[in-house]
Amino acid sequence: MTAASQMIGPIVASFTQVIAVAGSGLILIGLLRKVRAHLEGRVGAPLIQPLRDVRKLFRKERLRPDQATWIFPLAPVVLVATVGAAVAITPLITTHPAMGSGSDFFALIYLLLAGSTLLALAGLDAGTAFGGMGSSRAVTIGALAEPALLVTILAMSAAAHSSNVPAIVHATLSDPASVATPQRLFALGALLVVIVAEGGRLPVDNPATHLELTMIHEAMVLEYAGPDLALVSVGEAMRLTLLLGLFVNLVAPWGIATTTGAAALAVGLVVLVAKVAVVGAALAVFEVFTAKVRLFRVPELLAGAFVLALLGVVSGVVVR
């Protein structure tokens, strides 16, 4: 492999990841809805319905509430941009994305935090009651999910002696037995709960609701319309896809490309889509049988996740 292709390869891989996640993110949302509809005895909208919705939204007029500042139009852009940057440096299709050496788990989480923090600010920007309600709840749940999230990362990283995500994935690939260690299993359980909370899925938040008293994320973005709302939808879908993609690559990284050749990337893409679709469908099945919990019961759920993650770290030290 020449020097030039070593430079170009990861960049091509990263672009492929961003385009794949941006494209398939909305279809994943469509899949979740479809599975749910089937289990509820409905036919449901076609898989590409979210894509059509976004296309329709882009054609609409851009609206800005009279009290809003530059934060309001900036937030959706930053959401999509930070999620996109996080997708670009995460090993989803290949273990060699661009800037892979700087692909730190901690940095990924804080990139995602930047997008959600700005969105929470935008919720307060229009000066309405609902925006503030959504922001307040969203940042509270985000704060409570943080300990479980970081301790999970600690548990994952401790085995590989690095918080570099490609290094963690490589460590799993070279030692498949490490997936079944108690350290990993506890941590993955915790990560799953955190993904449900951060992704705004049941039982923490109901993405389909517009009932005032239960909304979290939807209340925060209530004032968005047209292209800005389209960006919010795309950003949220990309974020869920990224989190699920990261999860499947931590559970079972097999099939991920370890080079940046075109054939390997194609295989990696197909495998990733299949794995995420399976996990996404499982999530949808789980959601059918779950009711949203009260807002003030969510801390208990997240505390449970935190205990799991802590068990993960401690068992890693004990079981040596």
Site for another protein in 83-122 (CB under 8 A): 84-85, 88-89, 99, 101-102, 104, 106-107, 110-111, 113-114, 117, 120-121
What residues from 184 to 203 belong to the interface with another protein (CB under 8 A)?
none
164: β partners? 104
Q: Give the tokens for residue 303.
A: 């505390």
Q: Give the tokens for residue 86.
A: 């996080």
Contact 202, 242 (CB under 8 A): no
**Residue nearer to another protein on the CB measure, 54 or 284:** 54
**Residue nearer to another protein on the CB measure, 253 or 316:** 316
- By CB under 8 A, is residue 59 in contact with another protein? yes
| Binding-residue total with another protein (CB under 8 A) | 87
CA distances from residue 38 to 69, 120, 126, 286 in whole angstroms, order as listed = 43, 34, 38, 13
- By CB under 8 A, is residue 143 in contact with another protein? yes
Helix or strand or coil: residue 94? strand
**Residue nearer to another protein on the CB measure, 29 or 112:** 112
Residue from 26, 35, 75, 133 binding another protein (CB under 8 A):
133
> What single letter denotes the amino acid at residue 180?
A
**Residue nearer to another protein on the CB measure, 63 or 185:** 63
Residue from 11, 37, 45, 77 binding another protein (CB under 8 A):
77
Contact 246, 165 (CB under 8 A): yes
d(CA 144, CA 25): 26
Residue from 198, 223, 236, 287 binding another protein (CB under 8 A):
223
